[in-house]
Structure formats: structure tokens, C-alpha cells
Amino acid sequence: MSALHGRVAIVTGGARGIGAAIVRVLVAEGARVVAVDNGASIDGRSSEPNVFAPLVAELGDALATLVRGVADPGVADEAVALAQSRFGGLDAIVNNAAILRDAFVFKGNRADYEAVLETNLVGAFELIRAASPVLRENAKTNRGGTPYRWGRIVDVVSSAAIWGNYGQAAYASAKGGLIALTRVAALDLARSGVTANAVAPFGATRVTESIVPANDAQAAYKEQALTGQLFGVRGREVFLFSQPRPIARFTTDSAASLNALAADVARSFTHHLTGLETDLEAFSTPPVV
């Protein structure tokens, strides 16, 4: 039996693309899902009220929908309440909702920047805020078994936040912030047995289709040797930080079960995992002054 059987999840941006694929997999594995999506266009300026019609017809009673914007006031709490009232609880959340308003930094405007952060980052924080008390309470009532080791937070991020991408100041900022939020959520919820992880998927979606390929002139920008780096200063110490790059990989069978995938992850990644260490712990030695 799948580890997801009988679980309840909330998926934002769940009506199309990657979000809909996540919803389908969850339901196929025996979970019930509350999907939140207002049918927004890729830039968030318009919406499609009937966006869930195909998915509802396909998945039936295993799916409950909330046609609202994830960052709208009260929506996160409403989604959590819907999961509890319709399906009897909540075990996992997936923050997937995102919009794009791309522009070079010298052409961007604050309203577009804030709109992207509101949906892609603030909306994710709101759902984590609303769901985490329920996930913590699950630990006290042993909803996930004894000892409780089941609550899940999954944040969908982007390689644009790690590598950067031309014209994606708002999107990369939001997804970079979501990576940091995921790390803090993991620290805050560790004692409750709730895990928080970020996933950067690669796929052809409305988002990737909207990105204009780099032109030849842009290649010249990268000839500068000292740019795009991350430095740290502590007293007289100067650090150059590494930046996230893949350090391990495996190839899975397209028909692999969830349990087989979990075994592959454990076998291939366990020795490469980053510990839950705060910055104060990492730099606990006296600085050079």
C-alpha cells in the first residue's frame, strides 16, 4: 500500500500543468486533495472561473476545489478548513502556485514585482502558517502513527532562483525566498516530526513557454569575471560562499512505485544531505577581529 493512501493534501496552483500532475499522482496513490487555483493567466492579470472542470470530471470525489487566489486574505485558512471538513484532516501541503511578470531590472516596476512575490512567496507562507498548527497537532494525536513522522511540506521552487535567468528578477526573488522559507520551516517544525523540502522541477509548462531565449548579445554580459557571486564578511574574515549546484543524481524507472522512489532517494542521496544547522551554529566560533 502506498504511503500516501488515506492521506489528505492541499495543492496550490493545482488546476493545470505541474500542479494538476501533482494532484493526479496524489489521487492515484490513494490520497484526497484540496486544490486551490483561481485559474489565473500566466501573468495573473486574468482568471478562468471554470478552470477545475476537467480535473473534477476526471477525479471525482477525491478532489475538492477552491477557486481563489492563494495569496488572497483568508484563503489559506479556508483551504485548511475545507480539508478538515471534507476529508477529516490534513497531512501535507504543496506550494506550487506561481505567476510570471518578467522584465529586465532596468525596465521593471514595483507593482509587477510585488504581485509576483505576493502569489509565489507570500501565498506559500500563508499556507504554511495556516497548515503547520494542524500538522503539529497531528503529532500530539499520533494521526500519522507512533512516533509521528508524517507531516509534509513541499515547496515547488525553480532553478531560476539558483542560477538566475534574464529578466526574471521577480520570479527568481520569490522562488529564492521560498527556498529560504522552506529551510526555516524545516527548522521550526523539526521537533514535531514534520518535514519541509523544496523541489525544483524541470518540465515544459506555461512558465517555460513564456521565457524568451537569450540572444547573442546577452552572452557578453557573462564575460565579466567577478559578478553574480555571494560573499560573506565577519570581522576581518572574508568568505566566498558556494552556490547550490547538483551534487547527486539517479535515474528512476518511469513506472516505479512511490516506495521504490523513496528507496532510490535514500540510497542515492542520504550521504549528501545537508544538516539542519542554523547560521548561528555554523559560525559559532569567535570571529577574527
**b or e along 149-180 (b: 16 or more beta carbons within 10 Å of the residue's beta carbon)?**
ebbbbbbbbbebbbeebebbbbbbbbbbbbbe
Please tell me the number of Cα atoms within 13 Å of 113 on its side-chain side: 12
Question: Rounded to whole angstroms, how far apart are CA atoms 283 and 273?
Answer: 19
- Residue 213 is given by DSSP the state P
β-strands 152-156, 195-199 pairing: parallel
Amino acid identity of residue 171, one-letter, is: Y
Catalytic residue among 113, 148, 166, 171: 171
Dist CA 277 CA 275 (whole Å): 6
Please return the burial class of 230, using the count of CB atoms within 10 Å of its CB with bins 0-12, 13-18 and 19+.
exposed
Burial label, 69 (beta-carbon count in 10 A; 0-12, 13-18, 19+) = buried
Q: Is 221 a catalytic residue?
A: no
Q: Where are the alpha helices (DSSP H) in 142-168?
A: 160-163
Phi, psi of 232 (to 5 degrees): -130, 150
DSSP 8-state symbol, 165 = -
**Measured between alpha carbons, how far is 279 from 288 in angstroms, rounded to an integer?**
17
Pairing of β 231-234 and β 237-240: antiparallel
What is the rounded CA–CA span in Å between residue 143 and residue 166?
45
Distance between CA atoms of residues 74 and 85, nearest Å: 16
Active site amino acids: 171
